[in-house]
Amino acid sequence: MPLLVQLGASVTLPCSVDTPIPLHELEVQWMRDSGSLVHLFLGGESRPESQSPAYSGRAEFFTEEISKGNFSLLLRNVTTKDREMYKCIVHTEHESSETNVTIDTERLVVTGADVPVFAYAGEDVILNCSVDTHVPLGELEVEWMKTNEEILVLLFMEGRYRPESQRERFRGRAEFFIEEIPKGNFSMKLRDVKTEDRGEFMCIVHTDRESVNATAYVQEPGRFTMERLVVTGADVPVFAYAGEDVILSCSVDTHVPLGELEVEWMKTNEEIQVLLFMEGRYRPESQRERFRGRAEFFSEEIPKGNFSMKLRDVKTEDRGEFMCIVHTDRESVNATVYVQEPGKECDHILNNVSHP
């Protein structure tokens, strides 16, 4: 199996013997299969002056390990030109042996949206597509396709956007963020969403060696109850010392008006209500006494769907599970966050979704 390496990263090419060899008897050559000398150890020392210029300053031995029989090579800043088989050839006064290792690179990574994009007719939406590659822009081809209809929505080719290739119904409505393209951002802005835009869009990225794609979805609100309300929390426990302030994350993605949302923060292992947003406003009178003046929403962030909670002056008894529970007239969804003392074990992280 080849060593799969990200472009720009470092990799160790392994080579070792079971029994150390006296340094004065030892010669180690690292060679590319095509014949270039990558590095040389001879006469008891490494010889960087013998390296092929392409590896000068990039390939080196672990010098302190050679006397132990470890002749592995560290190769820095891997490029596409490094893809090949490498030979580690070990010579002594009495014998020679070699081992081979092959480098391949993760050349192209494309990511899109993780959840459907919800839109009412007439709204604008952004469909995400991010490209991680060292391939020059002029060698990339990026297509946005409406896959269920096999319609070309957007095209980037030969280093520039090609609006003349769009299907008529998307002209003037679908566009790249041109200034973001050099950063690998090929997201698409779709203006004035129409009912017929509902469905799957695919961002397809081609190079001369491979094609990779990412999928995004446009969905009308309310079409599927299971996808109407998305609530996300922290992905990892929040660690805090007593007396510190912490923020517990809760983000709500929905088109339900604020006045129809009810959001509760609960201390679940004690069944204590910590915070409540109901009928369009924060309800501090509903808090349990021990959290009054310590737990609060970021009021100015609520219209953006951010129902994160700031918990001031953390106490030992705050350790444990907090749940952000979001109710509408049709469903309830929750996200779980943990407050944990540094150094304590935390077994699990959950994101639970429940529907009536």
pLDDT of 2 reads 80
pLDDT of 264 reads 94
pLDDT of 142 reads 94
Read off the pLDDT of residues 310-356 as tens digits, 9 standing for 90 and up. Answer: 999 998 888 888 889 998 877 778 878 888 776 544 333 223 333 33
Question: Tokens 């002594």, residue?
Answer: 92
Together in a domain, 323 and 295: yes
Q: Pick from 51, 73, 106: which residue ends a domain? A: 106
Together in a domain, 121 and 192: yes
Together in a domain, 281 and 334: yes
Measuring CA to CA, which residue among 249, 236, 257, 229 is closest to residue 326? 229
CA distance 355 to 293: 32
pLDDT of 345 reads 40
CB atoms within 10 A of CB 271: 7
Read off the pLDDT of residues 132-173 as tens digits, 9 standing for 90 and up. Answer: 777 788 889 999 999 888 899 999 999 999 999 888 899 999
Residues in the chain: 356
Together in a domain, 192 and 120: yes
Read off the pLDDT of residues 79-92 as tens digits, 9 standing for 90 and up. Answer: 878 989 999 999 99
> pTM here?
0.41
Measuring CA to CA, which residue among 76, 59, 70, 98 is closest to residue 14? 70
Q: Pick from 63, 87, 106: which residue ends a domain? A: 106
Is residue 74 pLDDT above 90, yes or no? yes
Together in a domain, 325 and 233: yes
Confidence of residue 107 (pLDDT cuts 50, 70, 90): low
Together in a domain, 273 and 299: yes
pLDDT of 39 reads 97
Together in a domain, 161 and 215: yes
Together in a domain, 115 and 202: yes
Residue range 294-302: mean pLDDT, rounded: 92
* Token duo for residue 35: 């014949």
CA 196 from chain center: how many Å? 31
CATH number at residue 25: 2.60.40.10
Q: Count how many Cα atoms sit within 13 Å of the Cα of residue 317 in the half-sphere of its side chain.
A: 4
Together in a domain, 280 and 323: yes
Residue 42 amino acid letter: L
Q: Pick from 106, 127, 156: which residue ends a domain? A: 106
Together in a domain, 167 and 211: yes
Measuring CA to CA, which residue among 7, 5, 4 is closest to residue 131? 7
What is the tally of structural domains in the chain? 3
Together in a domain, 233 and 348: yes
Q: Which domain holds residue 147?
A: 108-219
Together in a domain, 91 and 137: no
Residue range 216-221: mean pLDDT, rounded: 75
